[in-house]
Amino acid sequence: MKKASPSPRSPAGEARDYQSRIPYLLGAISNRTVATGSRFYQDQFGISLAEGRLMYVLGYEGVLTARRASEIMGIDKGATSRALAGLQRRGLVHLTVDDDDTRQRTIRFTRSGQALYDRLIVASLERERKLLSVFSEKEEQVLAALLKRLQAHVSSPIASKPIASRRGAR
């Protein structure tokens, strides 16, 4: 006996078209961007993607703590710590005790770190320009606005609240 296909209107039917689902698209784009970004940073600058992201944030902020870097990048403190250790090993950043909180260390570029950042930012902006070249300027602005709104929503308590299953909701 042939198994019946789920109705296109049922949740199972909707799930069949996974390539049109926003979470799938975001994940697929993220995965490809991370993979190519990782190769880009390693080949061009000899650093990991996480180290490149940390340099980007540090270049924008000027001075920051590892905790603040973790918050900005949306990654755990362990990943930030590993990226920071890699940059320190290469002599690209140095740490000093934070004047406001002696438990914290502030991160700053060394001269060689600043020089690498200056090269990295030019190459990264060119890479971003190529990535977004499929959009008009207006489309790019709309996309950025929509993604920022989604990012804020994903971080909200409502979006992270567990969904009750039909079986458990009585």
Q: What is the pLDDT of residues 36-83, one digit of tens each?
A: 989 999 999 999 999 999 999 999 999 999 999 999 998 889 999 999
Q: How far is residue 112's CA from residue 92's CA, in Å, rounded to a whole number?
A: 6
Q: How many domains does the chain have?
A: 1
161 lies in a domain? no
pLDDT grade for 166, boundaries at 50, 70 and 90 = very low
Q: How far is residue 102's CA from residue 100's CA, in Å, rounded to a whole number?
A: 7
Decide if pLDDT at 159 tops 90: no
149 lies in a domain? no
Decide if pLDDT at 114 tops 70: yes
40 lies in a domain? yes
pLDDT, greater one: 13 or 167: 13
Average pLDDT of the segment spanning 126-137: 96
Boundaries of domain holding 92: 18-131
Which domain CATH number covers 66? 1.10.10.10
150 lies in a domain? no
36 lies in a domain? yes
How many other C-beta atoms can be found within 10 angstroms of the C-beta atom of residue 163?
6
110 lies in a domain? yes
